[in-house]
Amino acid sequence: MAKYDLIAATGCATGIAHTYMAQEALEQAAKKMGLTIKVETHGQTGVDDPLTQGEIDGAKGVVIASDIDVDADRFAGKPLVNVPVAAGIREPDKLIKEALSSAPVYMPKGGVAKASADENVETSTAGIGNKIYTSLMNGVSHMLPLVVAGGVLIAISFFWGIYSADPKNAEYNQFAAMLNSVGSAAMGLMVPVLAAYIGEAVAKRSGLIVGMAVGMIAYNGGQGSGFLGAIVGGYMAGLVILMLQKVFAFMPDKEFRGLKAIFLYPVLGVFIAGSIMYLINTPMKALNLGLMAWLKGLESSSPIILGIVVGVMCAADFGGPINKAAYLTGTALLAQGNYFFMAGVSAACIAPPLATTISVLLNPKAYNRDERSAGYVNALLGSTHITEGAIPFAAKNPLMNIPAFMVGSAIAAVLTYMSRIQVPAPHGGFIVLPLVNKPVLWVAWILVGAAASGVLLAMIAGRSAKKRGVKSGVVEAALATEGAADDVPVAHVAVSSARNQPAPDADQSQQTFDPSEILNKEYIEVNVPAKTRDDVLHYLANMAVKNDLATDADAVFNKYVAREKEGSTGMEKGIAIPHAQDATIKRSAMLVLHLAQPVEWQTFDGKPVNAVISFLIPEHDSGSHLKYLSSTAKLLTHEDFVKAFQDAKTPDALYELFQR
């Protein structure tokens, strides 16, 4: 059986995007660290790649990145980190390091190594707030497919007429009536299922049983307290079971486990929690109806305000707690026959990923190839109501990009509400367009909102791209412009962690740079007379022509200057790495200069430049120059290489240094 350094579990309420994005992020982060990992995913299709007990026993640490309940009993005795799924996407490196070094060892309640299947588990690393949220999302994740199925079937029944399910109406159609009946039955399960799985997340199987019973009381044939009652009832069911577990803790589990699980917990739990729900059902119903009436009133009286609120909520965290609050409200109203509110929520959720597509189309040079590819894919994801594809773009510059996303989502929602558009399905995006009362107009408003965000994102990305050459680290500065402009992905290099490390050996498996491909001794000169930066660039251009590497020195010089205007190639510790790409350059080459005296050059440390490593790049280059440039820039993060480079006094010494 395979052993893993680390094991993990991911899950989100919808079980569509977040679950697998967190899985990918954790797997990639572990791979970069040289660690093995297995990730168990909790999606809408169930649990994929389940962890075996042998795999759990062999692991050194555990990461749970989930918005739904994941049974932690299995991980007793292991260092465990428990966070929302968004953290798994945004900071996988941090989570892995914590799980392997500083995370507390998880023990079930009471310090028992293995808890019974019916006992509650409180994770030492998960706070009360996180537990409340994951419990709610556990209920939502199980409820959502029922709402989708029921809503779509009811909507399809309307194709035969709005009264096609009424036997007394002339529009009556038997098949439509059946669809309506089946869909209504599925929608009716929303409340008890929501309560049941909230209870299950709090107190395992007994919590589910009691939560189901309490949820049925809250539903009360569609005349009860609705989704608010389900939420209250679900938590109440779980808390009642926890209380009963404490009350009967004096009874040995080994002898009385069956009695407690089959008789005491369900009977007393249903009695206590059910009685409370019976008493509070009426005032909870009034509260629920009041909330729904208020929201419905906003749809008519203040669609602009409602749209702004919904848009901001949906674009705030892209599937996180704030987004889910708006979404849950929409599904609750949908279950009660309100198709207007969900239309705005859906529009606000679809707009952000489409905005990324528009942004990369408007300003492709501001993004690297991977980002452009993600933007194109988001056109498909957004069209199917998957918002999470916007997360990497938001995370890149959250203070600027998230407000840009909010603007577009708010515009889409406001226009949708003002147009009185109805969407009878809580998910599916443009797939459910045949069910929308004004499909063309709805798509148009979404595209308007997406375009507004897309323009803002393109402007922000362009501004950021112009600054990267000045503000980034050594490697990032060398590659910023090239990575945005060329179809070659540029991997992020953590410069800070590379400093003061030994220079890489020539036989490293990861080495991609062979200087002999582009560097000859004739391309190296020392004691070069130059008084200014432009003097150096002129010297390099003339040197290129002299060595038959280029045909026009003036053209090469102009390209050097143009590159410096985009962002200085001055690094630090007296080194610059200027480069030029032009049609007059015959082949790729590397030129190395030691100057007779330092010259002023815009550098990170503000010090003048006394050594230059330059690259000549043909106009039609496959991207190989990025390999040379990045490899050289990485060398400059190593103190011992920089010192040896500065200390070398002859062309032979410099050439040998690059051959090591």
- Supply the DSSP string of 364-406, one letter for each residue: GGGS-HHHHHHHHHHHHHHHTT-GGGGHHHHHHSHHHHHHHHH
Residues in the chain: 660
**109 within 8 A of 122, measured Cβ to Cβ:** yes
**39 within 8 A of 106, measured Cβ to Cβ:** no
**What are the helix (H) ranges across 397-494?**
398-418, 439-471, 474-485
* Backbone phi, psi, residue 648, to 5°: -65, 130
**593 within 8 A of 614, measured Cβ to Cβ:** yes
CA distance 133 to 144: 16
**Residue 492 CB neighbour total at 10 angstroms:** 10
Does the active-site annotation cover 12?
yes
CA distance 200 to 138: 8
Residue 80 host element (H or E): strand 80-83
**15 within 8 A of 44, measured Cβ to Cβ:** yes
Alpha carbon dihedral 2, 7, 13, 19, in 10-degree steps, equals -70
Q: Tell which residue, 205, 275, 212, has the closest CA to residue 241.
A: 205
Q: Tell which residue, 338, 436, 386, 426, has the closest CA to residue 140.
A: 426
**412 within 8 A of 449, measured Cβ to Cβ:** yes
Q: Tell which residue, 576, 581, 580, has the closest CA to residue 602.
A: 576
CA distance 592 to 359: 39
Q: Which of 9, 12, 217, 407 is catalytic?
A: 12
Q: Tell which residue, 489, 484, 548, 517, has the closest CA to residue 632.
A: 517
**235 within 8 A of 202, measured Cβ to Cβ:** yes
**Residue 651 CB neighbour total at 10 angstroms:** 17
Burial readout 71-106 (b: 16 or more C-beta within 10 A, e: otherwise) = ebbbbbebbbbbbbbbbbbbbbeebbbbbbeebeeb
- Coil, strand or helix: which one is 441? helix
| Positions marked active-site | 12
